[in-house]
A and B are shown apart, each in its own frame.
Chain A
Amino acid sequence: MQRIKIDRNKCIGCLTCVTACVVSHESCDARNRVTIDSGRKAAPIFCRHCDRPECVYTCMTGAMKKNSETGFVEYDKDHCASCYMCIMACPYGVLKSDHITHKEIMKCNMCIHRTEDGSPKPMCVEKCPMQAITLGEVE
């Protein structure tokens, strides 16, 4: 499957990826984040579309599910009950709800909505000026 590779040492914390995410989804919130650790070093925190996705295991509606073909963890906002269990379950603190209606979970979809065939085309990767995030194939 394809994942966004993060090279933390290249990240300068410019937040271009965060802006790109908001633009790509025409959203009021980003589905990724960059935080600063105790040593003042930037850390891009992006959904990993985990092999063992805790957000999927905890989803009691089936709105969050693992696509066995692409490996992506997909989210269906229309089926979601906004119970927030996925926010609690994500071990890396990637998820939150939108800040206006608090109904939709801000979940990375690898920007598959940007292509005809549903292949990934993450705008964050395209816009990163440092190539700190790149798209790569993994087992």
Chain B
Amino acid sequence: MKYVILGSSAAGLNAARELRKYDQEGEIVLISKDIYVYSRCILHHYLGGTRNLAQLNFVESDFEQRYRINWKKGLAGEKLDCGNKQLLLSDGTREGYDKLLIATGSHNFMPPIPGLDKANNAYGLRDFEDVEQIKAAAAKAKNPIVLGAGLVGVDTLSGLMHMGKKCVLVEMADRLLSKQLDKRAAGAYEKAFEREGNKFYFSTGVKELYLDSEDRIKKVALSTGEELPCDLLVISAGVRANVEFLKGSEVETDRFGLLIDETGRTNAADVFGAGDVTGRTPIWSAAVKEGLTAAANMAGVPRKMTDYFAFKSTMNFMGIATMSLGNCEAPDDTYQIEIEDDGTNYKKVIHKDGQIYGAILQGDLSYAGIMTQLIANKIDASKVKKPLFKVDYSDFFHIKNNFEFYYDKSEEDTYE
């Protein structure tokens, strides 16, 4: 059996390890543009100088030898021929497969701002090459601007700050991390960043870039009419799935990305998918679990991935920790909101009829994993005679024969 995996990040590498677990004999070929193993989620630590390349590695240092993986680095898939079970690679060679996993991830979306297509000092933060370029450009930059205040934008800001830079951040929404945080929680970060000399422009877009004769950005024009000096622009305006190479193949994609079922299968025989390439669940744990699920099924071990709750994140900027789950604002006034706020620790839970729909916890996150579980699995917490913020596993306590914990699904059903 010959397995081919495209992509060497969370989904691809976890799939490779899992394949070896189930198939000691099979040939595993890993093909990736990336030539190093690195975790994209911590690239800003490299930017800020708090981690080196080796410290970005998220698998065993002897991964290739240990799991006997033939890793072809610096190569991408250009075309897929499902009929002949062959991939055309970027160096012109062909790679046949018995089972293929597409875990090609995504790339930065570059918004249609006049001047951006030509500018040579504008970057996204996605790949290791990106962070190297930003780091080099930032060393000399006096007026760095970050466009977009999502998680990647704020990661970039914190990395640049660690380099000693003071940045301007421009964001269309009215606050930082608007998908994850409400005004109160975002405000804590805004104040902390502003104290360090960074400046925010909210409810503002970038209208145009002014370039010099060498196509370097000199100035940006904001939607408010204001103009700001700029010598480095980092764009974090979202991502798009890496599915271009599937054009002309029989593999189905939609406007988000690759289509897979809960076993990781695409519509094409023996072609599987996992991770950000689906354009649906862009978080690390989903990529890992999709990779493990696809790998098991590729090796003939039936498994399903049913954890679709991806609207969750934690962050830790400027020494302030926050966890965000589900809706950060109540959809309408039929929902109840509980808030506790002592200035440092801010907690908010949005609930209705015993079910929790969203939560923000800022400050102390101790033991808060329970909240994720209650929201993700729609567990009725109304039987718990404690304040919602104090709910713990004791009221759901169950032990399996192998001493693991579990939640009693039948019990949940009776409460529904």
Contacts and interface: CB of A to CB of B under 8 A. Distances in A.
Interface in B283-330: 284-285, 288-289, 292, 312-316, 319, 321, 323, 325
A132 interface: no
A92 B384 contact: no
A38 B365 contact: no
Given A8-B397, A60-B42, A82-B316, A94 B369 contact: yes
B203 interface: no
A48 B404 contact: yes
Identify which of A6, A62, A92 gathers the most chain B CB atoms within 10 Å of its CB.
A92
Interface in B361-392: 365-373, 383-386, 392
Question: Chain B interface mostly helix, strand, loop or mixed?
Answer: mixed
Contacts of A88: 312-314, 323, 325, 365, 368-369, 372
B57 A84 contact: no
Contacts of B24: none
By secondary structure, the A interface counts as loop
A54 B309 CA distance: 13
Kindly state the interface size class of chain A when it binds its partner: 35 or more
17 contacts: A3-B402, A8-B399, A35-B392, A38-B395, A43-B393, A48-B405, A58-B284, A58-B285, A59-B58, A60-B39, A61-B58, A81-B42, A84-B323, A87-B314, A88-B372, A92-B373, A93-B392
Interface of B: 10, 21, 39, 41-42, 45, 51, 55, 57-59, 284-285, 288-289, 292, 312-316, 319, 321, 323, 325, 365-373, 383-386, 392-395, 397, 399, 401-405, 407
Interface of A: 3-6, 8, 33, 35-38, 41-43, 45, 48, 50-51, 54, 57-62, 68, 79, 81-85, 87-97, 99, 102, 136, 138-139
